[in-house]
Amino acid sequence: MARRPDQGRGSAILRHAVLALATLVFCIPFIWMLLTSFKSRPDIFNGGIDPWPRQWGIVENYSRILFDVPMPRYLLNGAIVCLGIMALQILVAAPVAYALAKLKFRAARWLLPLIVVALAIPAFLPTLPLYLAFRLTGLISSSSGAFGNYAALILPFSISAFGVFLLRQHFKSVPDELVHAARLDGMSDWSIVWRVMVPHARPAIVAFCIFSVVAHWNDLFWPLIVISDNTYATPPIGIIAFVNESVGGGDYGPLMAAATAVTLPIIAVYLLGQRFMADGMALMGK
Amino acid sequence: MAGVAVTNVRKSFGAEPVLADVSLDIRDGEFLSVLGPSGCGKSTLLKLIAGLDIADSGEIRVGDRVVSGVDARRHDVAMVFQSYALYPHLSAGRNIAVPLEMQRLNGFRRLPLLGRLLPGTGRIRAGIRADVEATAAQVRLSHLLDRLPRQLSGGERQRVAIARALVRRLSVLLMDEPLSNLDAQLRVAMRGELAELHRRTGLTIIFVTHDQAEAMSISSRVAVMMKGRLQQVAEPRVLYDRPDNLAVAAFVGDTPINLLPARVLAGGTVEAAGVRLAFDGVPETAAGLQMGIRPEWLRPADAAAADTWTGVVTGVEYFGAEAVVRLELKGGHSMTVRWDGDWALPATGKAQPVRIKPGRGLLFAASGDRIGEVRPADAGLAVAI
C-alpha cells in the first residue's frame, strides 16, 4: 500500500524523536561518567550539577588510574579472561553443535533436551560445587599463581549451553548436500566443523562472541569468589578494589576515569563486532 | 579407470525399504543413467556408491576394491550435487582447490598463516593452483575463478561443481540430478557439454535423473528404477522399443504410450479394440492383456479398414516439426497419434482411421510383464479377416 509522502515524513520524524530520546536516556549515565572523569576534585563537589567541567582534571584523574592503581593490569586480565572464555566456548560449542545438528547417533535425542535444561539453570546455582571443585583440584588456593587464577576464572565458562544451542540452530540450516560434498572432497568431521560449518554460521558466531565478551567482561560474581590475589583481578574487581583502598568516600574523578577505562573496550568490541555482523548478514543474502 | 559393481544391495529407512536387492554393473568408461520417478531410491543408490550412507546388506565395488562400509573419503569417487553444494564463502577457484588441498596438504600445512610458513607448502600450493587452472580451463571457467558462488549464474555454478569433481582426476563421477536446477535451454546445452566431457575424459559416469528425455539422450545405458527395484537396464533404444514391463513402457517416452485392452484369439492372433495383430509366444489362456502402441508407431490411413482403428479427433496439438493428435475410439478408449509436421492435420470432430506400422506393437500380461513378440514385418501385417 502506498503511503502519502507527508504522512511518511511525519511519522518518521516522530519515530526518530522517540528513538533519540530513548538513546539519550540510556546514554546520560555514561556521558555523566565521562564528564565527571574530566573534572577536578573540587569541581566535582562544588560544581553543582553543571555537566560541563569548569576546572579540568583529566591528567590528574587518568594518571592516577594509570600509574597509582594497576588499571592497565586489570584491563589486561579482563582481555585474557574474556578471550580465553570466548575461544574455549567456540572450541567446545562448534563441534558439539555440529554433532547435534548433522550427525546421526542415538543419544542425540536426549542430549538436546538436556542442553535446553542446562540453559534454564541459573548461573548462580552451580557456584558452590564449582568453587569446591576448584579448591579440591588446588587451582584456587592462597598460593595459586597465574595459571591457577586464570584457569579458575576461565574454565567454569568454557562450556556454554547457550552457545551450543545457538550454533546448533545455525548449523542445522547448512544443506546436507554441502556436508556430503565436503566429505567427498576428503574432509573429516573435524575439518567440516571448521571449514564448512563455522564460516557458514559466521554471523551467529560473531553475535555470540559479543554476547560472551560483554557478559564476562562485566562479570563480578564469580571473579569475586575466586580471586585471591588482586594481580589477577578483572576490571570490575579492580574498580571495587580501587573504591575500597583509595577512594574511601570521595575520590570520584579517578573512579569515573577507571569506569570509563573499563567501559571503552566493551564499546570498541561492540562497534567492531557490529561491523562484522553486518558483513556476515550481507553474506547470508544470496 | 574403474567400473562400479553393485551386488544385492538392500537399504531401508525404518520399516520402509528404499532399495530392495539391487544389482547393477557399470562398465569402465560407461555413461549410465539411473532413471526413475522421485522417491524411487535412485539418489539413495548414488549415496551408497559415494559412501555417504551405508547399505544394510550387499556389496559395492569401485574398480576392484570393495568400498561398502568404507569411509566416503576412501571411495575415490567424485560427485556433482543437484544444488551444486559449493562452499559459499570460498571463491570459485578455492572451491575447486578444496579436494586437492585436503589430499595434498596435511593438517599442519592447512593451518591458516602458520601452514604457509612450513617449508614446501608454497610449492604444493603452486601445484594445486596449476591443476585448478587446468581443470577450470577444461570447463571454460578460467575468467571466473575469483568470483564467489553467489556472484555466478546457475550454469556457471554448475561448471564450478563439475570442475571441483574433476580436479582430482578420479575415474568415477556420480551426478545427482545435476541439470534440474537449470532453465530448459541451458539444460539442453549442458547435456551436450556433459556428453562431450564424457567422450573427452573417458570417465565412468553414473547420472541420476527423473527426466527420461535427459537419460535417453546422453547415456550409453539407462537403468530404470521404480519403488526400490531395477526394472530394466538397457541401451536407450532397447528400453524404448522393447520395454520389459508396463511401468518402463509408460515412464519412457515423451508422449505416453497407448494402451488398449487385448485378448488372445486362436492361432496367436491378438485383438485390441477391433484390430487384430499376429503375435508369437502368447499363451492362449492369457487374460487381462494390454497392447502397447507408441504414438509414432501409428500413421493415418486413407479409409477405415479391418486393420485400422478409427476414432473421432478430440484434439490436435501442433508443435511445428510434429503434431499430437488425440482420438477417441469406440468403447471410450483414447489414443494418441504422433503426426508428422508435413502431413495435413485432421479436423477436430472428424473420424480418422489410423494403422500401426508393420512389426510394431507390444503386449503386456496382466502382471505388467511384456509377453510375446509381434510377428516380423513381412508376416506381421495386420491380419485381415
Quick one: pLDDT at residue B380? 42
Residues A196, B87: C-beta atoms closer than 8 Å: yes
Residue B247 is assigned to a structural domain of this protein = no
> Mind telling me how many Å the CA of B78 is from chain A's nearest CA?
7
DSSP assignment string, B119-179: TTHHHHHHHHHHHHHHHHHHTT-GGGTTS-GGGS-HHHHHHHHHHHHHTT--SEEEEESTT
Q: Which of B102, B103, B152 to mutate to test the interface with A (most CBs of A within 10 A)?
A: B102
- CB contact under 8 Å between B102 and A175, yes or no, is no
Backbone phi and psi for residue B353, each to the nearest 5 degrees, phi listed first: -85, 140
Using CA atoms, how far residue B24 sits from B3, B62, B72, B173, B223, in Å, is 11, 12, 20, 16, 8
Say what the ipTM of the complex is: 0.83
> Structure pTM?
0.81
Residue with cell 594518571: A63
- Residue numbers of B between 78 and 117 with CB closer than 8 Å to A: 78-79, 81-83, 85-89, 98-99, 102-103
CB pair distance less than 8 Å for A185 and B47: no
C-alpha cell at A179: 556436508
How do strand B172-176 and strand B204-209 relate by DSSP bridges? parallel
Cα separation, A29 vs A38, whole angstroms: 14
Query: How far apart are alpha carbons A88 and B144 in whole angstroms?
Result: 38
Judgement on whether residues B190 and B283 belong to the same structural domain of the protein: no
How far does the CA of residue B269 sit from the closest CA of chain A (Å)? 54
Q: Exposure of A190 by Cβ count < 10 A (0-12 exposed, 13-18 middle, 19+ buried)?
A: exposed
Q: Is B20 on the interface with A (CB under 8 A)?
A: no
Indicate the CATH number for domain A69-284: 1.10.3720.10
Residue B231 lies in a domain: yes
- Each residue's pLDDT, cut to its tens digit, for chain A (286 residues) gives 455 555 678 889 999 999 999 999 999 999 988 988 888 877 777 767 777 877 788 888 888 888 877 888 899 999 999 999 999 999 999 999 999 999 888 888 888 889 889 888 888 888 899 999 888 888 787 777 788 888 889 998 999 998 998 899 889 989 999 999 999 999 999 999 999 999 988 888 888 888 899 889 988 889 888 887 888 889 888 888 777 776 555 678 888 888 898 899 888 888 887 766 655 444 443 2
Q: Do B190 and B179 contact (CB within 8 A), yes or no?
A: yes
| B99 & B177 share domain | yes
B229 and B288 fall within a common domain? no
Q: Which residues of A touch B99 (CB under 8 A)?
A: 184-186
- Is residue B231 domain-shared with residue B294, that is, in the same domain? no
Q: Please, are residues B280 and B354 in contact by the beta-carbon 8 Å criterion?
A: no
Q: Please name the residue of chain B whose CA is at the shortest distance from the CA of residue A189.
A: B73
CATH number assigned to the domain comprising residue B147: 3.40.50.300
Report chain A residues touching chain B, CB-CB < 8 A: 175, 177-178, 180-188, 191, 195-196, 199-200, 202, 283, 286
In a domain, B113, yes or no: yes
Q: Which residues pair with B335 in a beta bridge?
A: B327
d(CA A112, CA A165): 8
Say which residue the cell 559395492 belongs to: B60
- Look up residue A176 and give its amino acid: D
Our CA-based measurement puts residue A175 at a distance from the nearest CA of chain B, in whole angstroms, of 8
DSSP state of B245: B
- Does any domain span residue B84? yes
Residues of chain A with CATH 1.10.3720.10: 69-284
Question: Final residue of a domain: which of B198, B213, B241?
Answer: B241
How far apart are alpha carbons B155 and B160 in whole angstroms?
Answer: 9
Q: Are residues B169 and B233 in the same domain?
A: yes
Co-location of B68 and B142 in the same domain: yes
Residues B143 and B287 in one domain: no
Measure CB to CB from residue B102 to each of A185, A199, A202 and give the nearest one: A185
Identify whether residues B188 and B86 lie together within a single domain.
yes
Interchain CB distance below 8 Å, A184 and B88: no
Task: Answer yes or no: is B379 within a domain.
Answer: no
B227 and B285: one domain?
A: no
Q: What was the pLDDT predicted at A283?
A: 43
Residue B320 lies in a domain: yes
Most B CBs within 10 A among A102, A185, A192, A197, hence the mutation to make, goes to A185
Backbone angles phi, psi at A56, to 5 degrees: -80, 145
Contacts of A203 in chain B (CB under 8 A): none
Set of chain B residues whose Cβ sits within 8 Å of the Cβ of A193: none
Domain identity same for B75 and B127: yes
Q: Answer whether A200 sits within 8 Å of B88, measured CB to CB.
A: yes
Q: Which residues of chain B, if any, have pLDDT below 70? A: 1, 377-385
Residue B72: which of A178, A183, A286 has the nearest Cβ?
Answer: A183
Dihedrals φ, ψ of A203, to 5°?
-60, -40
Cβ atoms of residues B336 and B326 within 8 Å:
yes
Whole-number Å distance between alpha carbons of B182 and B211:
13
Asked if B72 is an interface residue toward chain A (Cβ–Cβ < 8 A), one would say yes
The residue range of the domain holding B113 is: 4-241
Ramachandran region, residue A241 (left: φ > 0; alpha: ψ -120 to 50; beta: rest): alpha
Same domain assignment for residues B288 and B364: yes
Q: Given an 8 Å threshold on Cβ–Cβ distance, is B79 in contact with A180?
A: yes
Residues A181, B81: C-beta atoms closer than 8 Å? yes
Do B287 and B144 fall within a single domain?
A: no
Within 10 A of B354 (CB to CB), how many other CB atoms are there? 24
User: What is the Cα–Cα distance from A238 to A259, expressed in whole angstroms?
Assistant: 10
User: How many residue pairs from chains A and B have C-beta atoms closer than 8 A?
Assistant: 62
- HSE-CB of A42 using CA atoms within 13 angstroms: 3
The answer to whether B233 and B223 have CB atoms below 8 angstroms apart is yes
Within a domain: B295: yes
How many structural domains does chain B have? 2
Q: Environment class of residue B252 by beta-carbon count within 10 Å: exposed (0-12), middle (13-18) or buried (19+)?
A: buried
Task: Give the whole-angstrom CA distance, residue B236 versus residue B252.
Answer: 9
Provide the CATH number for the domain around residue B327. Answer: 2.40.50.140
Last residue of a domain, one of B214, B241, B268: B241
Q: Identify whether B382 is part of a domain.
A: no
Domain boundary among B241, B267, B297: B241
The span from the CA of B165 to the CA of A136, in Å, is 55
Do residue B78 and residue A184 have CB atoms under 8 angstroms apart?
Answer: yes
